[in-house]
Structure 1
């Protein structure tokens, strides 16, 4: 009786679903128009927390980058690496000194630019590329936005920069965790090899015979 009374009180509602029309899936992220096409990019934009654009984003996420180098550079630019100065601020009992030179406390600025080990690497590539970038980390990122009027040389500089950041951090971790020590010249040779390997397919893609191997020669 109650069900019958309820049906009498409620208005008739036309069925929403129809068996005469095929079902379709529509994707509507946030306030965008609904679409039958799914986009990973729009999904990421809908899910991620949007922050302010940083001045160095094009210096990190440029076309032709090496992904793992770009990622470490991004973490470094955000000052999120587990350098010893940061770990000590967290209350961890770790040595303060730089394991690359044993001459000063480890920090982002010291590890990547002030340390004599890192300076040896930068000196080699700066001499080869005939550049004099700033030695302060943030200033270096700003300078990297336009380090040369030559587009191909600009790409080389960015690749070398990121490869050096990656290699220095990798060597630091190898010494801390594996007690494995390599001289700067070995890292320099590896960076040259990696950058030249990256430049070759990029040159082919642009139908260019130019590789500028002399800039990264011995």
Structure 2
């Protein structure tokens, strides 16, 4: 019975992006919810009859969906672009799974790929946190502060979990970040 129920599950391809050992667990969880489009955005709450307004709390221009919050809102686009530029990646995709797959294909090593996944999960987490700060405290953190917090989280986490198998060129790249 167990095996028959187990076989019914759908295989997903994004698990390796999200459940990266270098990512902070609470960042992984928010990234997982965002990937599944299960974050309690205003549009989602509006469809449930909980929220009266479905506009983005940060920009106020469009309805707040996962796609808008992380890839269309000017605030998050600037944050994401700054973080990827910090990692020497160019931002080219407009969806979470597409961005993670793009990083998988373009990263020059496994270590750099995992650091990029860690940075993406930190970015999603901090943008979500900034959105909540905007709603509950009526203030939006500056982009510079948000990017600095993301960089600090990524550097701290990776430094404490870095493997001895990482190449010297990757170590040099990481230490110059």
The two structures have a TM-score, normalised by structure 2, of: 0.85
Q: 1:69 to 1:200 in 2, by over 3 A?
A: same
Closer, same or farther: CA 49–126 of 1 in aligned 2, 3 Å: same
Deviation digits for residues 163-193 of structure 1 (CA, Å, limit 9, x no counterpart): 0000000111111123243111111000111
C-alpha spacing 1:201/1:93, structure 2 compared with 1 (3 Å): closer
Instruction: Count matched residues.
Output: 171
Change (3 A) 1:74 1:118: same
Aligned to 2:124: 165
CA distance, structure 2, for counterparts of residue 114 and residue 158 of structure 1: 20
State the 1:206 CA deviation: 1.5
Structure 1 residues 137, 64: closer, same or farther in 2, change over 3 A? closer
Q: CA deviation at 1:48?
A: 8.6
Alignment of 1:57 with 2:9, yes or no, is no
1:135-154 CA-to-partner distances (Å, cap 9, x unmatched) read 12332233243341222211
Contact 1:65 1:159 in 2 (8 A): yes
Q: What secondary structure sits across from 1:146 in the alignment?
A: helix
Whether contact under 8 Å (2:107, 2:113) holds in the other structure is yes
Higher helix share: 2
1:214 aligns with 2:176: yes
- The CA deviation string for residues 69-111 of structure 1, in whole angstroms up to 9 with x for no partner, is 1111011111110111111111223322111112222111110
Among 25, 37, 41, the alignment partner of 1:83 is 41
Structure 2 residue runs without a partner (length 5+): none
Distance in 2 (CA, whole Å) between partners of 1:80 and 1:199 is: 28
Residue of structure 2 equivalent to 1:11: none
Distance 1:158 1:72 in 2: 13
Describe how 1:1-218 pairs up with structure 2 within 5 A: 51-128=9-86, 129-203=88-162, 205-206=163-164, 210=171, 212-215=174-177
RMSD over aligned Cα atoms? 2.4
What 5-or-longer segments of structure 1 have no aligned partner? 1-29, 32-46
How many angstroms does 1:49 deviate by?
A: 10
Q: Contact between 1:55 and 1:142, CA under 8 Å: does it hold in 2?
A: no
Contact persistence 2:28–2:121 (CA under 8 A)? yes
